[in-house]
Amino acid sequence: MMSSNQTLIRFEHVTKQFQEGDQPRIVLDDLSAAMRRGEFVALVGRSGSGKTTLLNLLAGLDLPTAGDIWIGDTRINALTDRDRTLFRRDHIGFVFQFFNLIPTLTVRENILLPAELNGWSERAADAQARRLLDAVGLLDRADVFPDKLSGGEQQRVAIARALCADPALILADEPTGNLDADTGAQVLDLLTRLAREQGKTLILVTHSLDIAALADRILKLDHGRLMETKNESANHANRAN
């Protein structure tokens, strides 16, 4: 069940440790934070800082070594593998750097798949897919296959797919990292605009401080610890743009 209160995500004293030979390696070290409903949070840090690891924990794709992660009223690290899968299906949308579209499905079929898996009727899923195709400017490409699209078009399809089942949370892992600067800016604008219009919580992993400056909050991972970047830094980046 999803809570109706203002906080959507809460993680408490989360640690993630991997074993490398005989030595443990702590990737995330005692992290605690909360994100509100409808908030856009940028997660920054150098390569290897644990950004994708944290995203995987929030999605229930991996489990913390210690600590708890709550989404709404659900402590996701207490769920079974199957229940975490069902929870992701019902409440989380994903946008990946490399699109991850299914090549044997058309654009429309890729988009409506999450809604169909979530139990929507065929008519309702198709109507939702077409609404989102219109929103991302690809209604005329509904029946083509992903390999006929440019990289920017494929990422727009991926954004529509992430929103199709009406999830509360969107997780985006370097969604512009595989695109040129101009196309990436257009895709980022589309993602953030649609997320805000639909009241979604968006957590976006990025290396770019310019992209991060567009967020409501910036959280930085450094040597396994999480810190919040001051608003002045985000405002300065916005002025630099």
Is the pLDDT at 241 greater than 60? The verdict is no
Is residue 240 predicted with pLDDT exceeding 60?
Answer: no
8 A C-beta contact, residue 120 and residue 114: no
DSSP state of 83: H
Place of tokens 């529509």: 160
Instruction: Write the CATH number for 169.
Output: 3.40.50.300
- Look at residues 62, 164, 52 and name the one whose alpha carbon lies nearest to residue 107: 164
Domain residues for the domain of 141 are 39-57+89-240
Check residue 17 and give its pLDDT: 93
- The tens digit of pLDDT for each residue in 5-49 reads 589 999 999 999 998 878 888 999 999 999 999 999 999 988 888
- Give me the torsion for CA of 211, 212, 216, 221, rounded to 10°: 160
Q: What is the pLDDT of residue 64?
A: 96
pTM: 0.86
| Structural domains of the chain, count | 1
CA distance 201 to 116: 22
pLDDT category at 61 given cuts 50, 70, 90 is very high
Q: Is residue 56 predicted with pLDDT exceeding 80?
A: yes
**Residues 6+ away with beta carbon under 8 Å from 145:** 103, 104, 105, 106, 107
Answer whether residue 200 is part of any domain: yes
The answer to whether position 27 is within a domain reads no
Give the DSSP letter string of 203-239. Answer: EEE-S-HHHHTTSSEEEEEETTEEEEPPHHHHHHHHH
Task: Assess if residue 222 is contained within a domain.
Answer: yes
Show Cβ contacts of residue 231 under 8 Å, excluding neighbours closer than 6 positions.
Answer: none
Name the amino acid, one letter, at 25. Answer: R
Residue 231 has pLDDT above 80, yes or no: no
